Amino acid sequence: MSIVVTGATGHLGTFVIEGLLEKIPADQITAVVRNAERAAGFGARGVKIVVADYSIPETFENVFSPGDKVLLISGSEVGGDRVGQHKVVIDAAKAAGVALLAYTSTLGSLKAALADDHRGTEEVLRASGLQYVLLRNGYYHENYTENLGPVLEHNAVVNAAGEGRVSSASRADYAAAAVAVLTGEGHENKTYELGGDDAWSLAEYAAELSRQTGKDIANSTVPVEALIGILSGAGLPEPAAAIFAGVDASIEKGELVVTTGDLTRLIGRPTSPIAESIAAVLKG
């Protein structure tokens, strides 16, 4: 039996593999990647490396074994056929007879188009008959903190979120939750709504940036249509720009606030505040 992590060299997957290495022997971990060279470090530590691609079904034919626990990390191609890609993994897992498949979904409260692929994948997973876990991850701190360049250049946090609040958490927090599920017991057919302990507004985010940088960072709220134009002008394809701007509209409606406490319970500690992620990037 192995714990198998797809997308293992991505941002989230890397944290998951590192977390697993702290809890179980390396030879019980399989990292599924598209590029073996990027996984060389894990391979040197004893992790089994398998090359497979969500878009090429035959590459998943011999990835899984009976009794495996699998973490399906959602594909990153927003606007593509992510449901079809995820189905490739789910079908292969079912054929192999895995014991559990956990999927990194999104909050059940989120109505924006960004959630559509996740809802479709959840339907496929439930219909498969596999024992599953839905890790409905809220927004990541890094969705904001890894894009500070334009913010610091223009001294403004441009958004369409109004006074809405976000219960974000760090990638490390969400990864720790996945590790807890994969190495623990009693999670079969459970759905976890995951988010940070403290919800914050974009105005508060701008104020924290101002405090840490010593600059006057404004909170600049614009209509959704204007934000789509700004994102498109910055080089994002318009369909993707519309999807991300739609998330801001959902924030304004309160759809990214999480009050379940599921994330803290799974990881056994408070979640990391966004101020820590800001500080880490600024020290960079």
Containing 193, the helix (H) or strand (E) segment is: strand 190-194
Is 276 among the domain residues? no
For the chain, residues with pLDDT lower than 50 are none
Handedness of CA 43, 46, 47, 50 (dihedral sign): positive
Is 205 among the domain residues? no
Is 32 among the domain residues? yes
Q: For position 24, which CATH number holds? A: 3.40.50.720
Cβ partners under 8 Å of residue 61, min gap 6: 92
What tokens appear for 94 in the block? 């079912």
Total tally of structural domains belonging to the chain: 1
- Residue 37 structural domain: 3-138+169-194+259-268
Is 239 among the domain residues? no
Closest C-alpha to 159, from 256, 276, 282, 244: 244
pLDDT, tens only, 217-272: 999 999 999 999 999 998 989 988 999 999 999 999 999 999 999 999 999 999 99
pLDDT score, position 1 = 83
Report long-range pairs for 185-190 (Cβ below 8 Å, ≥24 apart).
187/100, 187/102, 187/133, 188/100, 188/131, 188/132, 188/133, 189/131, 189/132, 189/133, 190/133, 190/134
pLDDT score, position 234 = 86
What tokens appear for 195 in the block? 């988010």
pLDDT score, position 79 = 59
- For 76-91, letters b (16+ CB in 10 Å) and e give eeeeeebbbbbbbbbe
pLDDT score, position 78 = 63
Is 34 among the domain residues? yes
Is 88 among the domain residues? yes
pLDDT score, position 232 = 94
Is 202 among the domain residues? no
Q: What is the pTM assigned to this prediction?
A: 0.96
What are residue 165's phi and psi, to 5 degrees?
A: -120, 155
Is 33 among the domain residues? yes
